[in-house]
Amino acid sequence: MFALLVWPVAAAQTCVPPGAWIRPADRSPIAAEAMMAVAARAEVVLLGERHAHAPHQRWELETLHALHARRPQMAIGFEMFPRRVQPVLDRWVAGELTVEDFVRESDWDKVWRYDFELYRPLFEYARAQRIPMLALNVEQALVRETGANGFAAVPPERREGVSAPAKPARAYVGRLREIYAQHRRGAKTAANRSGFERFVEAQLLWDRAMAQALAQARQAHPDALIVGVMGRGHVEYGYGVPHQLRDLGVQRIVSLLAWEKEADCKDLRPGIADAVYGLVEHNAS
């Protein structure tokens, strides 16, 4: 009886076995070597994370190791940093800053706020290998202004160089509508519809900003592999950053996600990413 009770739970957790790569399109396994070989041939690789969750950051570090071994010319972009701190990232990679200096001068506790120690191995790896780090984000004030007034109402000098986003896919708008409704529990008023439209514009600005930074890095370093580390919502189904990258002329994009063993296998749908990796939990000793 115990086995009968446990088996359905165990079976539900085997759609992405720990330590394995799976192709969501048909749930077929992919050997790690083959997966990394494919990813390393891309122009841009996107790693979609769950923020501040240690297994995700470990997976990112392992993936960066594997990609760098195949494409030593590489740059890594991080959602965590707004463009204004790019000089700080440059100085960090050059070995000119202590960890304490880096945290302070990057304004980490203001711009990201999550536990720095979870991300520290990623930054230290980039520095040890002299891999350029890219600040992908914009100031939250710009996102808020866009959400309040719309992108067109933001003066060009306050757009931080971000160009007009590509029109979103209808499915992306539908997904954002669900998120918006959760927060607004909204009455279907004209004001609420207007608020939703501006919410979409703010999200598109965010996606466009990161895509543009990645595309510019690719243009400046055509022989390098450009990797973007960002929240999975910007990556899933190709709606966010991948869609904006294609509008900017970047076509060879590989999107990768990490999969938690507790995740519902019904969410492993075709198109969610090019491949997903089953996270390996590390128990504290």
Length in residues, the chain: 285
Q: How far apart are CA 152 and CA 281, in angstroms?
A: 45
pLDDT by residue, tens only, the chain of 285 residues: 333 333 344 444 579 999 999 999 999 999 999 999 999 999 999 999 999 999 999 999 999 999 999 999 999 999 999 999 999 999 999 999 999 999 999 999 999 999 999 999 999 999 999 999 999 999 999 999 999 999 999 999 999 999 999 999 999 999 999 999 987 765 455 457 789 999 999 999 999 999 999 999 999 999 999 999 999 999 999 999 999 999 999 999 999 999 999 999 999 999 999 999 999 987 644
Q: DSSP H helical segments within the chain, as ranges? A: 2-12, 32-40, 54-70, 86-93, 99-105, 108-111, 116-128, 140-149, 170-184, 190-220, 241-247
If 0-12 CB within 10 Å is exposed, 13-18 middle and 19+ buried, where does residue 285 land? exposed
pLDDT for residue 191:
53
- Among 45, 33, 27, 14, smallest CA distance to 257 is for 45
CB atoms within 10 A of CB 90: 15
Instruction: Tell me the CATH number of domain 17-278, given options 3.30.70.100, 3.10.590.10, 3.40.50.11550, 3.40.50.300.
Output: 3.40.50.11550
pLDDT in tens, 79-94: 999 999 999 999 999 9
- Among 200, 116, 205, smallest CA distance to 154 is for 205
Q: How far apart are CA 22 and CA 154, in angstroms?
A: 42
DSSP output for 33-100: HHHHHHHHTSSEEEEEE-TT-HHHHHHHHHHHHHHHHH-SSEEEEEEEEEGGGHHHHHHHHTT-S-HH
Q: Could you tell me the strand order of the sheet in which 44-49 lies?
A: 28-30, 21-23, 275-278, 253-259, 44-49, 225-231, 74-82, 133-137
pLDDT in tens, 244-285: 999 999 999 999 999 999 999 999 999 999 999 999 987 644
pLDDT for residue 283:
64
CB atoms within 10 A of CB 30: 17
Cβ atoms of 176 and 126 closer than 8 Å: no
CB atoms within 10 A of CB 19: 10
Structure tokens at 171: 């499915």
Structure tokens at 29: 């396994």
